[in-house]
């Protein structure tokens, strides 16, 4: 079955829906108060600014990865691992140098006056977080069209081929990355909460925090607090319509891509090129920007301790301090790691199993495909605070004793919030994993009248179970880092790593916070790289049988 077929069938309907929504949104925005319009434009500015920075760096990084050297392979593995690092950890990486209590800020003698804050910091943090996944996508796009570009290089200079053929061919992927950055920035609150950027999602969360004892730990202005207390339903509906529309276009476009993942995951990267040394220098620069600088900041901050010398506080760096900080953070927050892991594992199982059934059905039925794209777009349109506050309202209005117990004493609501928030990204990963099932297998099963449940088990899971083990591990890494939705529905006495880290980042990055960030990075990167190895081995194991 051609994946473009479902989209071509609904393209006129989709275009009409987009047109109607745009007209409604423009008309509604014209009637919104000025303060509400500012909230919407802040979200657009945050996502757009991050995309404008991340996309060029990601393309440059993808070019540098295209090397058949240890440097190229190492850079690719680094990008895959960093793709699942959560935004609040990226905040810790850069604030440990440029934020409150940062080592560079302290060297300037202004320990409580960050060198990087506000809009510039928020846009930069999101942009740095987008670079690894975008770079992997651009690299795979370049790799899949390599033979065509190699033929063009016979007649044209490499620079002409890159700017007139490669970049043009990647233009749809650039637009997809731009849409994804808008979707993410409209849902996340970690970065905006730390840097006090009043997007709509942040205002909703700020309004929630106003009702919690000692939950508001930042110095928001009086106008921002007033705006948070009276967030209108109309502006929330407008943003929901806009984001759902963008998400529908995004997921509809992404699911058109080839599902033959073996063409992109199995081979070694690179072909001989004329400017090899330029790519090697660029790769080193990328490693310095994405790995050495942020991780070095955390290591330096974790290993720095303040001691008294002749009655004066003096900072000193020692390896013993680094190991002591990491061990202390691991022990002090062991309960947070346990609950985060339990919520992540439970959420990942639910998402992967449900997405496996839905994606396999969507692959064989046009209506199911439309329903999958629609449901995923709606989930992507809901911000973390919307999900958390919605679940809180639902359970608080219930008079059922079981539901009240479920909300007050279990992690069930946090798992539900995690599933809803992480559903769009994990579903995309499952969709491409389902692509390993060939169309001939599905058509033969239809001719033999094999039942849907048996088809899902036989062709969707049993033949590719190694791949789905890797996909489940990726889902665990993503769900482990979720913050925006689940932290609002955690029962008393239970804290997650994300919640603890966010609370500590408000006061600045000290040695404990830096060590906690290092532990989080090490855990999610290890899971992601292990998943990548499993998926590659699974694809390589199945390739000979396909031939």
What pLDDT does 233 receive?
Answer: 66
What pLDDT does 141 receive?
Answer: 79
Q: At what angle do helices 412-434 and 366-381 cross, to 10 degrees?
A: 140
CA distance 109 to 37: 39
Q: Are 497 and 479 in contact (CB under 8 A)?
A: no
What pLDDT does 52 receive?
Answer: 94
Residue 161 CB contacts under 8 Å (≥ 6 apart), including other chains:
149, 152, 153
Closest CA to 257 of 378, 424, 426, 144: 144
Structure tokens belonging to residue 514: 């830096």
In sequence order, what are the beta bridge partners of 305? 316
CA distance 150 to 152: 5
List, for the chain, all residue ranges whose pLDDT scores fall below the cut of 70. Answer: 1-32, 109, 112, 144-165, 207-234, 256-275, 306-315, 317, 435-461, 540-547
What pLDDT does 351 receive?
Answer: 93
Its pTM surpasses 0.75: yes
Other CB atoms within a 10 A radius of the CB of residue 156 amount to 14
In the chain, the percentage of residues whose pLDDT exceeds 70 is: 72
Q: Are 355 and 419 in contact (CB under 8 A)?
A: no
What pLDDT does 517 receive?
Answer: 92
In sequence order, what are the beta bridge partners of 39? none
CA distance 1 to 255: 13
- Give the rounded distance of the alpha carbon of 489 from its chain centre: 21
Domain-wise residue ranges, the chain: 4-261+313-546
CA distance 149 to 156: 10
Q: What is the 3-state secondary structure (H, E, C) of 83-110?
A: CCCCHHHHHHHHHHHHCCCCHHHHHCCC
What pLDDT does 219 receive?
Answer: 52
Q: What angle do CA 373, 378, 381 make, to 5 degrees?
A: 125
What pLDDT does 310 receive?
Answer: 57
What pLDDT does 234 receive?
Answer: 67
Structure tokens belonging to residue 185: 């920035």
CA distance 75 to 68: 11
What pLDDT does 6 receive?
Answer: 39
CA distance 349 to 419: 10
């Amino acid at each position: 079955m051609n994946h473009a077929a479902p989209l071509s069938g609904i393209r006129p309907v989709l275009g009409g829906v987009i047109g109607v929504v745009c007209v409604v949104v423009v008309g509604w925005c014209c009637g919104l108060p000025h303060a509400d319009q500012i909230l919407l434009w802040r979200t657009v500015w945050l996502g757009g600014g991050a995309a404008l920075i991340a996309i060029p760096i990601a393309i440059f990084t993808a070019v540098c990865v295209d090397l058949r050297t240890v440097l190229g392979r190492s850079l690719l593995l680094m990008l895959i691992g960093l793709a699942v690092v959560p935004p609040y950890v990226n905040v810790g990486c850069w604030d440990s140098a440029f934020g409150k209590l940062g080592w560079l800020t302290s060297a300037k003698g202004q320990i409580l006056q960050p060198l990087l804050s506000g809009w510039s910091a928020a846009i930069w943090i999101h942009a740095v977080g987008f670079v690894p996944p975008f770079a992997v996508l651009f690299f795979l796009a370049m790799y899949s069209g390599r033979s065509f570009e190699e033929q063009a290089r016979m007649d044209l200079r490499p620079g002409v081929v890159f700017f007139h053929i490669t970049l043009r061919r990647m233009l749809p992927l650039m637009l997809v990355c731009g849409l994804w950055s808008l979707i993410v920035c409209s849902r996340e609150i970690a970065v905006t909460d730390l840097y006090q950027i009043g997007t709509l999602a942040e205002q909703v969360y700020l309004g929630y925090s106003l009702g919690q004892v000692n939950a508001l730990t930042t110095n928001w202005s009086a106008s921002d607090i007033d705006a948070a207390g009276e967030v209108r339903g109309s502006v929330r509906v407008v943003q929901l319509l806009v984001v759902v529309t963008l998400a529908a276009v995004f997921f509809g476009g992404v699911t058109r891509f080839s599902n033959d993942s073996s063409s992109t995951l199995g081979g070694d990267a690179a072909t001989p090129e004329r400017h090899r040394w330029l790519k090697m220098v660029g790769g080193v620069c990328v490693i310095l920007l994405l790995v050495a600088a942020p991780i070095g900041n955390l290591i330096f901050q974790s290993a720095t301790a303040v001691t008294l010398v002749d009655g004066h506080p003096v900072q000193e760096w020692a390896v013993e301090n680094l190991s002591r900080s990491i061990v202390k953070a691991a022990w002090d927050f062991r309960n947070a790691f346990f609950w985060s892991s339990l919520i992540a594992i439970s959420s990942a199982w639910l998402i992967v199993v449900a997405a496996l059934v839905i994606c396999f059905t969507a692959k064989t039925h046009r209506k199911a495909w439309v329903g999958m794209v629609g449901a995923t777009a709606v989930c992507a349109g809901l911000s973390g605070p919307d999900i958390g506050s919605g679940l809180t309202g639902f359970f608080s209005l219930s008079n059922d004793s079981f539901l009240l117990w479920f909300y007050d004493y279990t992690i069930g609501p946090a798992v539900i919030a995690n599933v809803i928030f992480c559903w769009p990204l994990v579903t995309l990963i499952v969709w491409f994993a389902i692509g390993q099932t060939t169309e001939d297998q599905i058509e033969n099963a239809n001719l033999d009248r094999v039942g849907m449940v048996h088809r899902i088990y036989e062709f969707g899971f049993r033949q590719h179970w190694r791949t789905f083990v890797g996909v489940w591990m990726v889902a665990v890494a993503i769900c482990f880092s979720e913050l925006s939705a689940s932290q609002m529905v955690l029962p008393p006495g239970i804290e997650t790593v994300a919640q603890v880290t966010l609370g500590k980042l408000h006061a600045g990055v000290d040695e404990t916070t830096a060590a906690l960030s290092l532990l989080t990075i090490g855990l999610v990167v290890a899971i992601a790289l292990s998943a990548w190895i499993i998926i590659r081995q699974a694809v390589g194991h199945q390739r000979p049988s396909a031939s």
